[in-house]
Structure 1
Amino acid sequence: MTDAAPWRDDTGPTRDRSPEGNPGDYRTLTYEVDGRVARLTFNRPEQGNSITPDTPVELADAVERADLDPRVHVIVLSGRGKGFCGGYDLAASAERLLDGGPTGAAAQAGTVLDPLVQMTNHDPGQTWDPMIDYAMMSRFTRGFSSLLHANKPTVAKIHGFCVAGGTDIALHCDQIVIADDAKIGYPPTRVWGVPSAGLWAHRLGDQRAKRLLLTGDCLSGREAAEWGLAVEAAAPEELDERTEVLVQRIAAMPVNQLMMVKLALNSALLAQGVQNSQMISTVFDGISRHTREGYAFQQRAAETGFRQAVRERDAAPYDDFGSSTNKG
C-alpha cells in the first residue's frame, strides 16, 4: 500500500523480518497472505465445509500465524463451494450411534478425542460421563474462539449457508458480511443440540436470540443484517466486492490502532460473561444428546440415515429443510 500519510507506511521494528512464504498444508482450510490481508478459506466443499476434529486445531494455528505476521492487519474467513460451513460432520457418528465424536483425522488413542472413548461414553446402555463429553466439545469452541481473541480484526464472509456448528465459528468473528440470500441459524436446537459457542444472546440480545433458538429458525442474510447479526448483507454477486471494501478500509489502519480498538471493545463483550455462557452451553449441548428425544433422533438417524432424520426434524411445522430459508 502506498500512501503519503506517514502512519500508513510499513516501517517498524518487525517489518523487515516478515515471514516468507505460506504455512504448511492443512486438511480443512487454505491460508494465504495478500498484502495486508490473511485469507483463511475452508476447503472441504464436497462436504459442505463440515467441521472435523482437525478444524479447530487448524483454524487456531492459521489465526495465530496471521496474528504474528507483521504484514497482516486483518484476517478474513470464508468457505469454498456452495456455502460457508454446514456444521459438524455428524452423519457417520449419528448413523453409527456415536453421537459424541465428529468424524475426521485419527484422534489420540485413549484421550477424550479418541472415537472409541466417545463411542463408549455415548452408548445409551452405559453410564454417560458429561465431563468426557465436555472435555471433547470444549476443545472445538476453544479453537473457534481464536477468532475472537486474536489481536487483529477478523471478518467472516458468508455465502450459501452457515448453520449449526458453522455459526459457532462465524459468531466469533468481529465482523460478518453475508450474502442476502444466505441461510444462517441453529436448527439443531429442535433436537440433539445447543450452540456450544454461547454467543447468540451476546450478539443479538436476549429476546432475538430466544426467538431463534426456541424455534431453531434461521435467518436470511438480509434478515441477519436487519437484526444486527451481520454488519452488512450484499447481493450474492456483490459479496466479494463489498467484503473487500470493508477489509481494505480496516487494513489501512495501523496494526497497533486495530489492536487497541479490538481489545477495548472485547473487554465489554467479555464482561458480559461470554466464557461462562460457553461453559454452560457446551455442557447442555452434551446433555441434549442424552435425553429421551435425543436418543430417539439418534436411533432414527441410525435407521434411515442422518440426512433423512434432519429432513424429518425440519419438516412441519418448520418446513425449512435445505439450503434456503424459504422466507423470500
Structure 2
Amino acid sequence: MNYENILFEIKNGIAKLTLNRPDKLNSFTQAMHLEVRDALGQVERDKSVRVFVLTGAGRGFCAGQDLSDRAVEPGAQGVDLGESVEKFYAPLVLALRNLPMPVICAVNGVAAGAGANLALAADIVIAGKSASFVEVFCKLGLIPDTGGTWILPRLIGMARATGLAMLGEKLTADRAEQWGLIWKAVPDEVLMTEAMAMAGHFAAAPTKGLAFTKRALQASYGNSLPEQLKLEGEMMRELGHSHDYREGVAAFIAKRTPEFKGE
C-alpha cells in the first residue's frame, strides 16, 4: 500500500508510525485508518520488530475523528457511529494492545477525542510539555470511544475519569503525569529523543518476556488472585525455557551486557 496519510519505517528492530495529516491535526479519515491497519499488519508479521513507536507530525498528535469525513447537519439523517467504532476504532485499539512487544506513544501537542484514547492505549506514553489530553466527546453528545471508558478509570480512577469524560476539560501533560495517566512529560525539544532512546532500549531487550508482562498486566483486570498466580506460573514455565532467560542469567553471572534475541 502507498501511504499518503502516515509515515512508516522499520529500522534496527524499531517500527515507527507517524500520523501525517498535520494540516488537520492528524485527525482520522477512513483512508488513514486503512493505512494504519496495513502498517500494523506489517509490524505483526515482521519478526525483526521488537518495539513499536507511534507519534504525530506537526503541532499536534491527533485530534480524533475528522468530522468532515462523516459530516451531518441537524435535521439530516444521522450516521452510524457504531459501525465506525466496530470497523475502525475498536480494531485499532485491540491491535495496539495485542502487539507482542512494547508500544510507545510520543504525544506532541494536542491529543483529543479518539486521539487521546488512542495514545493512552499504548503501553508507555511520553508527552511533550506542551501536549494536552481532551475528552471532547461530551461536547458532541457522545461517549469516550476508542476504549476511553475502559482505559481512563483503570489509569486514574473513576472520579477523575468521570470528570474528564463529562466536562471535556483540557488536561496538561504535567497534570497527566501527576495523575498517573502517562509515564512522563518532557520538554518538547527532547520528546522524540527520549522516545527513540526508550525504543532503542526495548529493541535490545528480552521481547518475549516483555510481551508476556504486557499480557499478564492486561489479564489482571479480569482475574482473581488465584487465577493471576496460575497465569504467572504458566508464563514463567514457558519463559524459563527461552534463550533470553538463559542469556540473561549467563550475562549476570559473567558480569557482562546480555545479548538478547527477543525470541
- TM-score under structure 1 length normalisation: 0.62
Deviation of 1:67 (Å) = 2.3
- 1:243 equivalent in alignment to 2:195: yes
Deviation of 1:38 (Å) = 0.2
Q: Which runs of 5+ in 1 are unaligned?
A: 1-23, 100-118, 124-131, 273-328
Task: Write out aligned runs for 1:273-292 (5 A).
Answer: none
- Kept in 1, the 8 Å contact 2:114–2:144? The answer is yes
Could you give the per-residue CA deviations for residues 13-65 of structure 1, whole angstroms, max 9, x where no partner exists? Answer: xxxxxxxxxxx322321210120110001011111111111333332321221
Task: Give the SS at the match of 1:223.
Answer: helix
Task: Write out aligned runs for 1:259-270 (5 A).
Answer: 259-269=211-221
Task: Give the SS at the match of 1:62.
Answer: helix
- 1:25 equivalent in alignment to 2:5: no
Task: Write out aligned runs for 1:199-214 (5 A).
Answer: 199-214=151-166
The answer for the alignment partner of 2:102 in structure 1 is: 153
More helix by share: 2
The answer for the alignment partner of 1:139 in structure 2 is: 87
Deviation of 1:141 (Å) = 2.1
Task: Give the SS at the match of 1:71.
Answer: coil
Could you give the per-residue CA deviations for residues 82-111 of structure 1, whole angstroms, max 9, x where no partner exists? Answer: 1110111104644x5289xxxxxxxxxxxx
**1:162 corresponds to which of 111, 114, 118:** 111
The answer for the alignment partner of 1:193 in structure 2 is: 142
Q: Structure 1 residues 189 and 270 mapped into 2: Cα distance closer, same or farther (>3 Å)?
A: farther
Q: Structure 1 residues 92 and 250 mapped into 2: Cα distance closer, same or farther (>3 Å)?
A: closer
- 1:173 equivalent in alignment to 2:150: no
The answer for the alignment partner of 1:97 in structure 2 is: 73
Q: Structure 1 residues 243 and 167 mapped into 2: Cα distance closer, same or farther (>3 Å)?
A: same
Deviation of 1:244 (Å) = 2.0
The separation in 1 between residues aligned to 2:223 and 2:29, in whole angstroms, is 31
Could you give the per-residue CA deviations for residues 143-190 of structure 1, whole angstroms, max 9, x where no partner exists? Answer: 321111111211110011101121131121111100112111212313
The answer for the alignment partner of 2:256 in structure 1 is: none
**2:54 corresponds to which of 77, 82, 92:** 77
Q: Structure 1 residues 98 and 191 mapped into 2: Cα distance closer, same or farther (>3 Å)?
A: closer
Q: What letter matches 1:156 in structure 2?
A: C
Task: Give the SS at the match of 2:167.
Answer: coil
Aligned pair count?
220
Q: What letter matches 2:184 in structure 1?
A: E
- 1:230 equivalent in alignment to 2:182: yes
Deviation of 1:133 (Å) = 3.7
Q: Structure 1 residues 70 and 92 mapped into 2: Cα distance closer, same or farther (>3 Å)?
A: closer
- Kept in 2, the 8 Å contact 1:56–1:143? The answer is no
Task: Give the SS at the match of 1:51.
Answer: coil
Over 3 Å off, 4+ runs: 91-94, 269-272
Q: What letter matches 2:170 in structure 1?
A: C
